Amino acid sequence: MQKKSTRGKSPRQHHTVSHTYLDGFCVPGTDQVVVLDLHNGDVRKQRPAKVMRRRDYFRQRHAPKGTDEFILEREKGRWLEAQLKTIIAKLSRGGHDLTEDELIAFILHIELQRLSVPKQADFLKSIAKGFIENFALTIPEVADGLRKGLWKIEIKDEFRFTSLRYILKSGEYFTYISRMVWNVWDVPTGYAFITSDNPVTIFNPYMHPSELAGIGLLGSILLYPLTSTHCLELIHPETESEKSPDYLKPIQVEPLDVGGIHIRAGRVMPSDLAHTVNCLLGMYAERYLVSSSIDVLQEVYESLKIGKPRPPKSH
């Protein structure tokens, strides 16, 4: 008799945005979220487990023989997903009872969620490809072959995992997130925060929307809706402590040199700002928006079509 494997089936449908996280945006009294397709405006209801997933997205086909190709997906589920709902609930209540291990896990979740979604992965690939192409064009025989279509430069999927590993290992994102002020905003009465397929949004209101804002600029803000009723906003403390801050100035940090996290909660976000936040999430989304409210999604969609409102510079 053949012995059954104890490993279990490999997970094949991988969520680019955590379905545990998306549970917090279900229509009240249901187990479904409202999904809006920015390409055509179509709206549908689905269970979070069926939304924003791709087959084998986190599969590492380049892994050495004998290594689990699905280890990243398994470990995310075993370690991060298992405690994510509890951590978000604690944050929504003000974060007073969060443990150090929970804070570390949540920061890692934010890093992974930001860096691993298709939009960000494609962006990193495009940078790498552009760099290689520019270098290749300085070599006459290579440039000639590229122009004639004899060769082409292709960034393999392995680069996505290599760059992710490098960024996480550097500790830079972790340090910036840890030293920022964490504002946990309550939603205005009768309204709802939305989320997207690129839910960790980093922007700088002092830059043009078409320019990419890095998290290390003084004026950069990180937005991450926790649920339909709470939104996390991270700002650099220098924006409040400096008299005349230069919002485009890079902040120099030592990797993993962090202290205690400063969490401020209990304030209701003004209605106009809440709508602007939702529009920002829509602006930086790849294709899909998710909410507990059809009306809110449609309102955001209409604002995006006419290009308003613009990001606020202060509140």
pLDDT digits (tens, 9 = 90+) for 1-17: 444 444 557 777 778 89
| pLDDT, average across residues 230-249 | 93
Residue 2 is assigned to a structural domain of this protein: no
Q: Strands, E, within the chain: which ranges?
A: 13-15, 33-37, 43-46, 53-55, 181-186, 195-196, 201-203, 221-225, 230-235, 262-268, 288-291
Torsion angle defined by CA atoms of residues 72, 75, 80 and 81, in that order, rounded to the nearest 10 degrees = 90
Tell me the whole-structure pTM to 2 decimals.
Answer: 0.84
Number of domains in the chain: 1
| pLDDT, average across residues 50-77 | 76
pLDDT(255) > 80: no
Residue 3 is assigned to a structural domain of this protein: no
Torsion angle defined by CA atoms of residues 13, 202, 42 and 33, in that order, rounded to the nearest 10 degrees = 60
Instruction: Tokens for 83, please give them.
Output: 């405690």
Cis peptide before 309 (omega within 30 of 0): yes
Coil, strand or helix at 110:
helix
Residue 1 is assigned to a structural domain of this protein: no
Residue 227 is assigned to a structural domain of this protein: yes
pLDDT tens digits, 188-236: 999 999 999 999 999 999 987 667 778 999 999 999 999 999 999 999 9
Dmax over CA atoms of the chain, in Å, equals 76
Residue 314 is assigned to a structural domain of this protein: no
C-alpha pair distances (Å), 4 with each of 11, 90, 190, 282: 18, 40, 53, 47
Cβ neighbours, 10 Å, residue 150: 9
Domain that holds residue 34: 13-306
Order across the sheet with 288-291: list the strands: 43-46, 33-37, 288-291, 195-196
Residue 139 is assigned to a structural domain of this protein: yes
pLDDT(23) > 60: yes
Residue 53 is assigned to a structural domain of this protein: yes
* 79 Cβ contact list (under 8 Å, min separation 6): 105
pLDDT tier for residue 128 given thresholds of 50, 70 and 90: low
Q: Please state at what angle helix 118-136 crosses helix 100-116, rounded to 10 degrees.
A: 60
Residue 159: burial class (beta carbons within 10 Å; 0-12, 13-18, 19+): middle
Residue 133 is assigned to a structural domain of this protein: yes
The overall average pLDDT reported for the chain is 85
**What's the confidence (pLDDT) of residue 191?**
97
